[in-house]
Each structure stands twice: as structure tokens, then as C-alpha cells.
Structure 1
Amino acid sequence: MTDQDASAAAIATPAGIPAARPPRLTREQSRARTRERLLASAAVVFTREGYAGASIDRIAEEAGYSKGAMYSNFASKDELFFAMFDFYALGQANELCRRLDALDDPDALIAAVCDWADGMRHEPDLRLLVVDMARLARADAAVAARHTRMFDDEWHQVGSRLTKIFPGGVPPVPVLQLGALVMDIAYGNATQLHAGLTAGDLIGLALRALRDAYGARPAASARPGNA
């Protein structure tokens, strides 16, 4: 058997039909894959070493790329940091919304939020980076404004799904505040320093207290401005 025959046999299916080769990625697909790999490596390095301790060289090495590949996707360490934070924060919020969209029972909804919050410990732990993110945003008004808009949208999306835990779907507080309550507890730092409590414990306590306190009230008495 020639080398050419051996190569053909190696990629043949059991029926003797050559296996289809995977399609080649387009330039856009390849760039997107590289970007996601860089973001994943950035999450590992920033979480492990903090913003100040992380370097572009170390992140590129973690991803298996050159520093040039890094700078072809991100203009600076700050830009990479914010892109990484946005990518994972929005992804986690979208995952929570996806879970809540599949449920209607109030107790099941609250349980799903608690499970999601506790499960975040298995993702890149963005809680460790919240202070760094806030400090950098304060130093740049444009970045601060962009992140305010991002968080407003994220909190509104989460809060709007949680209206289902209240009678008639009318919460006692604006949906933005309801979403902010959940996300702020989920990303809070206190539970990292106390082994006896989790974010899910505190979120469950807060949501059940709101529901039970206002559940017996008619919808007309709910606080205005819930949109």
C-alpha cells in the first residue's frame, strides 16, 4: 500500500467511503473563535491574578497565541478586561433568563434563581473583579455610561422575568430594582468570606420576603413605575 493509499484508508469510514472533512472556517468565524479563546484565557488570568497582576503576555500565553494576535483583537489591556467582563456577565444573565423563561410556578422560579446564583461559582468568578471593573469605569466617563446602560438592560431583563412570582405579575417595586437586587447579591463579595451562606440563600430570602409581604395586597396597591 502506498503512502497515498494509507492516508486515504485512514480517513475512510467503515463502509469504505471517505469521511467528509470539516468545512474550513471563514475569516470571520476564525476571528470570532480566536476572540472567544482570548476572552476565556483573560477570564482565567484576571480571576487568578487580578487586574493589576495580569499581563497581556500572560493572557496570550494562556490562550496559546502571540501578543500580536492579542492586539489584533483588543487595543489595550483595559479594552480586553471590559470585553471579558461584558462577555461573561451578559452570558450569565442570558442563562438565567433562559431558565426563567421555561418556568411559571413562583416557587420554581425562585429556586431556579437560587440555583443559578450558587452555580456561578463554577464559572469564571467575576465577583473577584467587580471592584477592579468599577474603579476602571469611574476613571472613564464614556466607559461608565456604557456599562450603566448595559447593567440597566441586564437588570430589566432579569427583573421582568421575576414579575411572575407576584400575584397578577405585578411586583411591589420597579422591575429594574427587582433585577438589580438579584444581580447585586449574586455578584456581592460578602458570601465569599462567610462559609455559612451562599448568594442563593440570600436571594431566596429576599424574593420570598417580597412575595410574602406583598402577596396578599391587591394589584392596584402595588408601587407605580414597574415598567
Structure 2
Amino acid sequence: MARHAREPRRTQEQRKAETRGRLIDAAAELFATKGFHAVSAEAVADAAGRTTGALYSHFGGKEGLLLALLDVWKERTAARLAPDLAADPDPAAHAAAMWRSVTRPAADRGDSWLLLELELWLHGARDAQVGSPLARRYAEIRRELGEGLADWAAATGQALPRPPAETGALVLAVLLGCALQHRLDPSAVPERLVVEAVSGVLGARPVRDQ
């Protein structure tokens, strides 16, 4: 009893955050190894040590859980990239860092991220109930990417050739399109090619070439 008395009592918000985190971690592992459609909501809940009701309460279903998982990966990737991007004005360094973030080894779940992104896109293209929130998610990604690139351009005294949202859309298209090809044939899409493509979209030459 004394030992329990010394343990801090968790708030309802903390318990909810823990349940949410456990479900996301379980989904990351199962979806990465088996694929989204091969894993049931029940299997995720069991792996997380939670009920299926908790999964639906937090995420509305398996699709909502996948959206949340991909958003967590996006946020972690952005946090990982931020120090490198802030420290280097060279657009080539930025392009290379972004490319490596979407082609990380499978052990770091980079490969899984791409496959799950595609599974969700296909599901959303066929189902409007999934497609609508997915479209909003992509709009947010384009906006955040464009704003980040606009901040970089302002800080380095360069000018983007297009509005930030359009720049974000094109950079995202280059990264995802090249990642699809790289997934099947890495040698066909070297990092140099992606760096040149992104730099071209930004209308900038690498600092070392200026």
C-alpha cells in the first residue's frame, strides 16, 4: 500500500495519451510487417493491450489510426530534419536531407512509411469517406512544406519561382514519384538526380556551384 501511495496518480488525459501511444506503436509494428489490409483492428488492440472499443474511441477505426500513424511519422521526420535544414543554406543539402527521410532503411520504418502511404492513398481514392480527410492531410503537408521552403528562401535571400503552396506540391511530387521508382530499383534513382530535380523546382543552384 505504501509503495502505491508514493506513485503519482495519472490524470485522465495522461491515460488517454498512453492508450493512444500504445495503439499507434502497435499499429506501426503490425502494419509495417504485415500491411494495412492484412491487419484487423482487433489484432492492433490486442497487441497494444487495449480493447477494440478504445481503438474506435480514439481513432474512429483502422483508417483513422493509419492517418494518425502517418502524421506521427511526418512530425518525427520534420523534427529530425529541422536542425539540418536550419544550419545549411544550400538547397542541395535540403533536397538530400528530404530524400533520405523518405528512403530510410526498412529497419527505421522509412520503407514502411512509403508502402503505407500508398495503401492509404489507394483506399482513399476508392472511398470518399477516407479520401476527404486524406485530401485535407495532403493539403496540410503541401502548405507546411511550402511555408518551410518560403522561410528558407527568405533567410537565404533567394526567391521561390512559384507561390509556396505550388512549390510544396511540386517538391512533394518529386520526392514521392522518385521514391516509388527507387523502391523497386534504387540504382535507377540516385540521390544526385533527386537533388537536381528539387533544386530545379526551387529555381536555385547549389551554393557550391554559385
Q: What is the TM-score normalised by the length of structure 1?
A: 0.68
% same residue: 28
Change (3 A) 1:160 1:71: closer
Decide whether the 8 Å contact of 2:26 with 2:44 is kept in 1: yes
Displacement after TM superposition at 1:119 (Å): 3.5
Q: 1:2-151 residue pairs with structure 2 within 5 A?
A: 23-93=8-78, 95-97=80-82, 99-119=84-104, 121=106, 122-123=108-109, 125-151=112-138
Decide whether the 8 Å contact of 1:90 with 1:154 is kept in 2: no
**What letter matches 2:49 in structure 1?**
G
Q: Map Cα deviations across residues 148-195 of structure 1 (whole Å, 9 max, x no partner).
A: 232222222223333446974312233223323333344432211113
- The aligned counterpart of 1:153 is 140
Change (3 A) 1:160 1:75: closer
SS of structure 1 residue aligned to 2:77: helix
Displacement after TM superposition at 1:89 (Å): 3.2
Q: What is the TM-score normalised by the length of structure 2?
A: 0.73
Decide whether the 8 Å contact of 1:155 with 1:180 is kept in 2: yes
CA distance in 2, matches of 1:93, 1:198: 23
Decide whether the 8 Å contact of 1:38 with 1:70 is kept in 2: yes
- The aligned counterpart of 1:171 is 160
SS of structure 2 residue aligned to 1:25: coil
Q: Which runs of 4+ in 1 moved over 6 A?
A: none
Displacement after TM superposition at 1:23 (Å): 3.2
Say yes or no: does 1:191 pair with 2:182: yes
**What letter matches 1:190 in structure 2?**
Q
**What letter matches 1:192 in structure 2?**
R
Q: Map Cα deviations across residues 64-89 of structure 1 (whole Å, 9 max, x no partner).
A: 33334333423322332333233323
Decide whether the 8 Å contact of 2:99 with 2:194 is kept in 1: yes
**What letter matches 2:183 in structure 1?**
Q
Decide whether the 8 Å contact of 1:156 with 1:175 is kept in 2: yes
SS of structure 1 residue aligned to 2:120: helix
CA distance in 2, matches of 1:67, 1:199: 43
**What letter matches 2:119 in structure 1?**
D
More helix by share: 2
Displacement after TM superposition at 1:197 (Å): 5.0
**What letter matches 1:175 in structure 2?**
P
Give the RMSD, CA atoms, in angstroms: 3.4
CA distance in 1, matches of 2:57, 2:153: 46
SS of structure 2 residue aligned to 1:51: coil
Change (3 A) 1:207 1:43: same
Change (3 A) 1:165 1:112: farther
The counterpart of 1:205, out of the listed 186, 196, 202, is 196
**What letter matches 2:44 in structure 1?**
I
Please say which structure displays the higher CA radius of gyration. 1
Change (3 A) 1:92 1:209: same
